[in-house]
Amino acid sequence: MAGLNKWIFATHGFRYPLLLSALHMLSGVAVGYPLGWARGPAPPAPRPRARIYLLSLTFCTSVGLGNLGLSYVQLDVAQAVATTTPLVTLLLSGLLGGRRHHPLQYVAMGPVCAGAACSIAGGLRFHQPGCAFLLAATVLRSLKSLQQSLLLQEDRLDARRLLCLTSLPSFCLLFGAAVALELGPSWEGVLRYDGTLWACVLLSCLASVLYNLATFCVLSLTSALTVHVLGNVTVVGNLLLSRLLFGTHLSGLGYLGIALTLAGMFMYHQPHLIAARWAARPGRGHPRPE
């Protein structure tokens, strides 16, 4: 989806990132409400409803800033910034949720962040405002995942119901922002794009719906931190996609960043295995009595 959005911004010159985000949410409304009606969801209690509205605000701000930053920077730089999301999520889950993790999982954030730094250093272009937008979107994306995890696990909402309940308020917020900031000054420019662009926009909207449903399903089974660490698997795919579609070049430092990120992911997912292998290595056992 990131590659398709970057293609829309870079190749077609689409200058309306907030409108694109609003169309993503409109597609969520078009898909989520029929799914919700088929399931017959009960109205949420006041506390989950307040959480849903707060989630919509966080979600809209993160998506809007992410697409805004993506319109300025190369896809490889955007993906490198996104790889810091697990560290931010780890810190926020400890500060806000009081969750504790295995010590090696904290250590694993080192190579993950070092890999992100190397990937950024290996990129061709570094646009300071664009990266600032992406960093802000990263923090909000982590907060959004923690909010989603609360709704899915504590308030017992399922993925389809959450998509149904969050899409409409998110669309209203994003479309209002798009009208005020993008369509108001130059709404005529939207009509000048050809059908190829709108086909790409439609594909991007469908990808957004599938992405949100898949994320909600994984969040209901795991945790916000695990989702973002798993998301770093897309680093390799997106960097290769950026090279194929946009002609970006990766230096040796960029490839080193990929390797460090993947090593940190393995350390995060297998801390007990690593600790057991370290304890069982030769020379770590108790000395025999003479």
Q: Would you place residue 135 in the very low, low, confident or very high pLDDT band (cuts 50, 70, 90)?
A: confident
Q: What is the pLDDT of residue 124?
A: 45
Residue 203 has pLDDT above 90, yes or no: yes
Residue 224 has pLDDT above 80, yes or no: no
Q: What is the pLDDT of residue 122?
A: 55
φ/ψ of residue 66, rounded to 5 = -65, -45
Verdict on whether the full-model pTM lies above 0.75 = no
**Cα angle, residue 109 at apex, residues 106 and 118 outer, rounded to 5°:** 160
Q: Would you place residue 211 in the very low, low, confident or very high pLDDT band (cuts 50, 70, 90)?
A: confident
Q: Would you place residue 126 in the very low, low, confident or very high pLDDT band (cuts 50, 70, 90)?
A: low
- DSSP string computed for 43-76: PPPHHHHHHHHHHHHHHHHHHHHHHHHHTTS-HH
Query: How do residues 39-84 score in pLDDT, each as one tens digit?
Result: 655 545 555 778 888 988 998 888 878 877 877 777 667 777 777 7
Q: What is the pLDDT of residue 205?
A: 92
Domain ranges in the chain are 1-37+49-270
144-148, 179-183, 230-234, 263-267: the lowest-pLDDT one: 230-234
